[in-house]
C-alpha cells in the first residue's frame, strides 16, 4: 500500500465498536513509575548496577530522565534533591567525555530532563548545568559524527540520537545546530526507504522505529529548519507502516537486533502519539483515534512482563541475572531505564482529548509488505496477526512464518519470533541454537534434510494477494530457493487467515526426494510456566494454563524432536509434520478456555 491507500483503508473501513483501553497520560506515568521502581534506590545512590558494576552515563541519564518526568507529574517529590544530584553528575560527566558513545545517548536524556523540569529548578542550579552543557562540542564528546569523509558510510541511528540532543540544547540557547545539521542530515536522509523506514545496518525493525521516534521528538520540540519538511514526510509514511504492521496484540513486529524488549512498545507509543496529533490537526479524527489507540494497546501489551516479580525488561520470565535472550549490551539496568525514558517522550506528546478509534488491524483484514530492505510480510485478520520474513538477518532470525498472534493470547504460545543458530543473544547451556520457524522442508538428492528456515540469504520471493474481505485474507508467497551447492527449488506457500485461525499450505515445485515436511516449534517453557503438549492422529495441542494452541493436518504424520531449542521468549521443541506427496497443509488456531 502507498500512503494514500493506507489512509483510505482506514477512512473507508466500517466503524468498529471497541472497548476503550482506559489508558491516559496518567497511565503513562504509572508505567514510568513502575520502571523506576525496578531500581534499588541505594544502588542508584551508589551508581551501581544490579551486578555491582558502575552504572554508565547512558543508563544513569535515562534513570534521571524518567525520574524528572515523575517529579514533573507530581510524583516522588521527596526524591527531587537526589534527582538534582544525578543531573549535576550527568552534566559534569558529559562535558568531560571524549569521543564516547555514552555521550551520544546521554545528551538527549539530559536535555529532555531539563525540558520537563526547567520551571521547577532554581536559577543557580540551572546556571551550573548550562555551564557544563555549553562546553559540549559534538566533534569532541560524541562518537557517531562525521570527522572524515570515510565516516559518512558509518553513520547510523546513534548519530540521530545526538542530533536530537543537539537540537534540544539549541532550544535552551546552548548551541547553534546549523552547521552540524548541514553536515549530517543530508547523509541521514539517504537512509530512509520509500516507505519512510530508516535503514540502520541490517535493517532491524526496532532501529527504524527508535530513529523515527527520536526525530518526532525533535520536530515536536520545535525544529522547523532546512530538513524538517523532508523528515516529516518520512515520518508520516513510516508512522503508517508502524500502525499497519503492529500486531493485534499491540506488539512491534519482529526482525533483527534488540527485538522483544519492553521499550519496543514504548517507542510505538511515541510514534503513534505524534501521528495522532498530526491527524487531529488535519481534522482526520478517525485516523488520529486509530493512532491513539495503537499507542495505548502497545503499552498494555507489555503490562504482563512489567507486572512480573521482579519486573522483566524482555518478554520472557527467566531470572534477570541469567540474561536469557539478551545481547551483550542489553543489560537490565540500561534497558529497563530505556523503557521508562522512552515513555517520557510518549507522555510529553500525549493528548487525552483524542478519542480512541479502531486500529487498522482491528477494523478489517490487511496484508502489508515492507520494501525489500526490511523483507517482511505481515497480515492481520479476524483477531490474528502473522508475520513472514523470507530473507531475514540470520544473525537474529530465520526464514519462514515467524509469528502467529491472536488478541488476548500469550504471544509466545504459538510463536512470536523465530530462532537463530548464531550466538547473537544469550541462552543457557544445553539448549540448541538452530535456524527454525514454521517452515517447509525437504530431503535433497544426498538424503539431507533442508528447510526454508536455513536459506534466508538464498531465496527470491514474490507475494500474490488473492482476496481480501473484511475479516479474512488469502495470499500466496512463491519462493525460488538456491542451495549453497547450486540446487534450485521452487516452493509455494498459501495463507488463509481469518477468525478461525490460519490455514496454511505448502507445495514443492522442483525436484526433491522424500515428500515435504513442515517444521513447527512448540513452546515448552517461558522461564516460569511449563506447557502441556499432546501429539497424535495428525494433531498437536499445546496448553499454557487456560490458553490452547492447536495444529491439525490431514495430509501428514507428526513426530517431535525432544531436543529443546531457544529463542528470546523461551524453550521450544520442534514438531515435524511429514507428507509423502509434494504438498502439505495444516491449520493453526489459538483460543482461551473458560
Residue ranges per structural domain of the chain:
364-592
> What is the CB-side half-sphere exposure of residue 376 using CA atoms within 13 A?
28
Q: CA–CA distance from 128 to each of 89, 90, 136, 171, 177 (Å)?
A: 11, 12, 14, 17, 22
DSSP single-letter state for residue 253: P
Residue 178 to residue 163: CA distance in whole angstroms: 11
| Residue in 356, 354, 360, 225 with CA at minimum distance from that of residue 277 | 354
Contact present, 573 and 584 (Cβ < 8 Å)? no
- Identify the architecture of domain 364-592 in CATH: Distorted Sandwich (2.70)
Which strands make up the sheet holding 384-389, listed edge to edge? 366-369, 377-381, 384-389, 400-406
- The predicted structure's pLDDT at residue 510: 67
Q: What is the 3-state secondary structure (H, E, C) of 263-322?
A: HHHHHHHHHHHHHHHHHHHCCCHHHHHHHHHHHHHHHHHCHHHHCCCCCCCECCCCCHHH
Burial class (CB in 10 A: 0-12, 13-18, 19+), 212: buried
- The predicted structure's pLDDT at residue 160: 99
Three cell numbers written together for 182: 548541514
- Find out whether the peptide bond into 310 is cis, omega within 30 degrees of 0: yes
Which tens digits make up the pLDDT trace of 280-339? 999 999 999 999 999 999 999 999 999 999 999 999 999 999 999 999 999 999 999 999
Contact present, 461 and 451 (Cβ < 8 Å)? no
- H-helix segments, 46-156: 57-72, 80-96, 101-117, 123-133, 138-141
| Residue in 230, 214, 213 with CA at minimum distance from that of residue 272 | 213
Beta bridge partners of 559: 576
Phi and psi at residue 393, to the nearest 5°: -75, 105
Residue 511 to residue 367: CA distance in whole angstroms: 31
- The predicted structure's pLDDT at residue 352: 98
Q: Is 592 helix (H, G, I), strand (E, B) or coil?
A: strand
Contact present, 417 and 567 (Cβ < 8 Å)? yes
Indicate the pTM of the whole model.
0.97
Burial class (CB in 10 A: 0-12, 13-18, 19+), 259: buried
Burial class (CB in 10 A: 0-12, 13-18, 19+), 221: middle
Residue 516 to residue 530: CA distance in whole angstroms: 31
- The predicted structure's pLDDT at residue 493: 97
User: Which residues of the chain carry a pLDDT beneath 50?
Assistant: none
Which tens digits make up the pLDDT trace of 418-477? 999 999 999 999 999 999 999 999 887 778 888 999 987 778 999 999 999 989 999 999
| CB environment 338-352: b (16+ within 10 A), e (fewer) | bbbbbbbbbbbbbee
Amino acid at each position: 500500500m502507498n500512503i494514500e491507500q493506507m489512509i483510505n483503508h482506514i477512512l473507508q473501513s466500517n466503524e468498529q465498536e471497541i472497548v476503550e483501553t482506559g489508558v491516559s497520560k496518567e497511565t503513562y506515568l504509572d508505567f514510568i513509575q513502575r520502571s523506576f521502581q525496578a531500581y534499588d534506590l541505594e544502588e542508584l545512590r551508589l551508581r551501581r548496577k544490579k551486578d555491582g558494576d558502575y552504572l554508565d552515563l547512558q543508563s544513569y541519564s535515562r534513570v534521571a530522565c524518567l525520574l524528572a518526568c515523575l517529579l514533573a507529574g507530581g510524583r516522588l517529590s521527596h526524591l527531587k534533591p537526589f534527582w538534582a544530584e544525578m543531573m549535576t553528575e550527568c552534566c559534569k560527566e558529559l562535558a568531560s567525555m571524549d569521543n564516547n558513545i555514552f555521550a551520544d545517548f546521554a545528551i538527549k536524556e539530559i536535555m529532555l530532563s531539563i525540558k520537563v523540569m526547567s520551571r521547577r529548578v532554581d536559577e543557580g542550579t540551572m546556571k551550573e548545568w548550562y555551564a557544563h552543557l555549553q562546553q559540549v562540542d559534538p566533534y569532541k564528546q560524541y562518537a557517531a559524527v562525521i570527522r572524515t569523509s570515510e565516516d559518512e558510510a558509518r553513520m547510523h541511528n546513534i548519530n540521530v540520537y545526538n542530533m536530537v540532543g543537539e537540537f534540544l540544547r539549541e532550544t535552551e540557547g546552548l548551541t547553534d545546530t546549523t552547521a552540524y545539521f548541514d553536515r549530517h542530515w543530508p547523509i541521514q536522509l539517504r537512509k530512509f526507504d520509500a516507505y519512510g523506514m530508516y535503514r540502520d545496518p541490517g535493517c532491524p525493525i526496532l532501529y527504524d522505529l527508535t530513529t523515527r521516534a527520536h526525530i518526532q521528538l525533535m520536530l515536536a520540540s520545535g525544529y522547523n529548519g532546512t530538513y524538517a519538511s523532508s523528515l516529516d514526510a518520512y515520518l508520516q509514511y513510516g508512522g503508517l507502516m508502524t500502525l499497519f504492521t503492529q500486531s493485534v496484540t499491540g506488539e512491534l513486529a519482529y526482525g533483527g537486533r534488540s527485538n522483544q524488549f519492553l521499550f519496543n512498545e514504548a517507542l510505538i507509543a511515541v510514534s503513534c502519539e505524534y501521528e495522532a496529533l498530526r491527524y487531529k490537526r488535519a481534522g482526520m479524527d478517525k485516523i488520529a483515534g486509530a493512532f491513539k489507540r495503537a499507542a495505548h494497546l502497545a503499552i498494555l501489551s507489555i503490562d504482563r512482563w512489567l507486572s512480573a516479580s521482579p519486573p522483566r525488561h524482555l518478554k520472557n520470565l527467566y531470572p534477570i541475572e541469567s540474561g536469557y535472550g539478551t545481547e551483550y549490551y542489553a543489560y537490565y539496568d540500561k534497558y529497563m531505564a530505556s523503557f521508562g525514558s522512552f515513555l517520557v517522550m510518549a507522555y510529553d506528546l500525549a493528548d487525552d482529548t483524542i478519542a480512541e478509534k479502531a486500529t487498522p488491524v482491528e477494523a478489517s483484514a490487511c496484508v502489508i509488505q515492507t520494501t525489500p530492505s526490511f523483507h517482511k510480510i505481515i497480515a492481520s485478520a479476524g483477531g490474528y496477526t502473522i508475520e513472514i520474513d523470507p530473507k531475514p538477518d540470520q544473525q537474529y532470525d530465520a526464514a519462514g512464518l515467524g509469528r502467529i498472534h491472536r488478541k488476548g493470547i500469550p504471544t509466545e504460545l504459538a510463536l512470536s519470533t523465530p530462532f537463530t543458530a548464531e550466538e547473537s543473544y544469550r541462552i543457557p547451556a544445553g539448549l540448541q541454537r538452530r535456524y527454525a520457524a514454521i517452515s517447509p522442508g525437504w530431503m535433497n538428492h544426498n538424503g539431507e534434510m533442508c528447510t526454508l528456515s536455513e536459506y534466508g540469504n538464498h531465496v527470491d520471493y514474490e507475494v500474490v494477494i488473492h482476496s481480501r474481505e473484511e475479516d479474512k485474507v488469502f495470499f500466496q508467497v512463491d519462493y525460488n530457493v538456491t542451495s549453497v551447492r547450486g540446487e534450485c527449488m521452487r516452493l509455494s506457500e498459501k495463507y488463509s487467515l481469518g477468525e478461525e485461525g490460519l490455514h496454511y499450505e505448502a507445495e514443492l515445485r522442483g525436484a526433491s526426494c522424500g515428500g515435504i515436511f513442515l517444521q513447527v516449534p512448540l513452546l515448552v517453557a517461558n522461564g516460569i510456566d511449563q506447557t502441556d503438549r499432546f501429539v497424535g492422529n495428525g494433531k498437536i495441542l499445546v496448553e499454557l494454563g487456560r490458553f490452547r494452541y492447536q495444529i491439525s493436518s490431514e495430509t501428514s504424520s507428526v513426530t517431535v524432536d525432544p531436543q529443546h531449542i531457544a529463542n528470546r521468549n523461551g524453550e521450544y521443541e520442534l514438531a515435524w509434520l511429514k507428507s509423502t506427496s509434494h504438498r502439505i497443509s495444516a491449520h493453526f488456531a489459538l483460543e482461551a478456555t473458560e
